[in-house]
Amino acid sequence: MKIKQKIEEVRQQILDGDTTLGNDIARAGMAAIFKGINSSEWEAMMNYFKNDQRELDRLCGREEAFNKSRWGLACLAYVAGNSVCTAMTATDTGTMRGMTPAMIQNLDAEEAPLALFKDSQTDSALSEAFKASRE
């Protein structure tokens, strides 16, 4: 997967002066947060950061193995939350701001490496919140 690369490309496009893109992502991020992970607004926002359907499924919380990984759901929350403050704000902000290197690595992890990101305490709390959002 190349989600991290796509996020960096979009960030650079904004830094290079595409303020319309930055504003569009910020508005899409707010709509996604207000409507939630199951909404068409969430999918519309995540479309900015995907290269293919598989990546979109991951970004929209439809990939079970990713959701159960240690940072999976937290990654999705960061992508959505940080999209509101795009790269136009400063060069150290944007979609992956505040994410640990492990979280960023997890965005692109394939099935086997996802097991490395397991954490039962974090998983349990996030899984319950995620399940509640799906009901």
Say if residue 48's pLDDT is above 60: yes
Cα separation of 55 and 120, whole Å? Answer: 25
Give the distance, in angstroms, between the CA of residue 71 and the centroid of all CA atoms in the same chain. Answer: 11
In terms of Cβ atoms closer than 10 Å to its own Cβ (0-12, 13-18, 19+), residue 30 is middle
Domain presence at residue 98: yes
pTM of the predicted structure, to 2 decimals: 0.69
pLDDT for the residue numbered 97: 59
Local confidence band at 69 (pLDDT 50, 70, 90 cut-offs) = confident
Q: What does the pLDDT average to over 16-37?
A: 89
Cα separation of 72 and 74, whole Å? Answer: 5
* Residue linked to tokens 């690369």: 5
pLDDT for the residue numbered 121: 47
Count how many domains the chain has: 1
Proportion of the chain above pLDDT 90, given as a percent: 27
Instruction: For 99-127, give one letter per residue: b (16+ CB within 10 A) or e.
Output: beeebbbbbebeeeebeebeeeebbeebe
Domain presence at residue 133: no
Say if residue 128's pLDDT is above 70: no
Domain presence at residue 135: no
State phi, psi for 29 to the nearest 5 degrees: -60, -45
> Residue 61: which domain range?
3-125
Domain presence at residue 132: no
Domain presence at residue 23: yes
pLDDT for the residue numbered 122: 46
